[in-house]
Amino acid sequence: MSVTEANRKMFDEMAASYDIKPWQLKIGAQISTAFLSSIPWLDVAGLSVDSPDNDSPEHKVRLLDYACGTGAVSRALEPYVDVIRGIDLSSGMVEIFTRRFAEDRESAEKAGEVKRCKDIRAVVGDLFASPPELQLGEQEEHEGEFLNFDIVTVAGAYHHFEDVALATKRLVERLRPGGVLAVVDFLHGEGENEHAHHHHHHHGHGHEHQQNSGKEIDEQHKAMLPETVRKAINVFGFDENGMRALFEESGLTDFGFKVMEEKLRIEFDDKEMFRTWFLAKGRKPL
């Protein structure tokens, strides 16, 4: 089974509980905060923290939330953009994304709230297949509405991609000139191993501190995961230089890289690990 197929299977299985598990919710909230607090830093024309749900924006802002999952990034940025398109490999995830936004709309309408973003839709797709797959509905006569984005976000998915160079290239194709690609993922292990913490058997304070190379730590963390999850992961950590090279090879400029302060806590089968993570950005030249 390819990494892509392993992903589709795993996320279809995880979809129903994705927004229920406390650790997943916490990560969703951290990702959401990271994007919101980085709006000025991202520097996307028309994307501004001023006046959420401004109903008469000067610029229309189009967001592609790639590997959107249940929509953490879309929900965070929704008040500041005009059009959202989500794409995800897993139909289970797309269903939840669609249902949650429909519910949001309904309660906003009941409350008489005006929303800036009036056009939100997620579809099942894999832009890295050859040829790229996009399961467009009957309304979408052509693919044009999945092009010319002002911002393309990818949160927590680069480590699942089979070929990150191809992925970056395909995502950059979807940006308008001047548009920004923003990627959130795990930083390469940085010399401290703060895990091996078992809920049932506490030994001492439950933390091990070891000096190891980043790659070894990535591998150790990966080895702690259940097999189904391991099979769905390709590279379990990136670093600033690697991301910069990846972005520049795809023609992006204005590279930016921020390491987040609060680690992400991952939990599987009563094992937990803490991972440092980053937000990287690059701009498609005008």
Q: Which is nearer to ligand SAM, 61 or 184 (CB)?
A: 184
Q: Which is nearer to ligand SAM, 72 or 182 (CB)?
A: 72
Residue in the structure block whose two tokens are 């509980």: 17
Q: Give me the least distance between CB of 3 and ligand SAM, in Å please.
A: 8
Distance CA(103)–CA(108), nearest Å, equals: 9
Q: Which residue, 204, 236, 201, 234, is CA-closest to 217?
A: 236
Which residue sits closest to ligand SAM, CB atoms considered? 69
In DSSP notation, 28-43 reads HHHHHHHHHHTHHHH-
Under DSSP, the state recorded for 262 is S
Q: Give me the least distance between CB of 205 and ligand SAM, in Å please.
A: 29
HEC profile for 208-274? Answer: CCCCCCHHHHHHHHHHCCCHHHHHCCCCCCECHHHHHHHHHHCCCEEEEEEECCCCEEEEECCEEEE
Q: Give me the least distance between CB of 13 and ligand SAM, in Å please.
A: 11
Q: Which is nearer to ligand SAM, 61 or 67 (CB)?
A: 67
Q: Give me the least distance between CB of 128 and ligand SAM, in Å please.
A: 5
Q: Which is nearer to ligand SAM, 32 or 220 (CB)?
A: 32
Q: Which is nearer to ligand SAM, 21 or 216 (CB)?
A: 21
| Partners of residue 197 on adjacent β-strands | 272
Q: Give me the least distance between CB of 112 and ligand SAM, in Å please.
A: 29
Distance CA(73)–CA(75), nearest Å, equals: 5
Q: Give me the residues that bind ligand SAM (CB under 6 A), please.
A: 4, 7, 11, 28, 31, 67-69, 72-73, 87-90, 93, 126, 128, 155-157, 160-161
Q: Give me the least distance between CB of 158 and ligand SAM, in Å please.
A: 9
Residue in the structure block whose two tokens are 């056009």: 119
Q: Which is nearer to ligand SAM, 64 or 157 (CB)?
A: 157
Distance CA(267)–CA(31), nearest Å, equals: 17
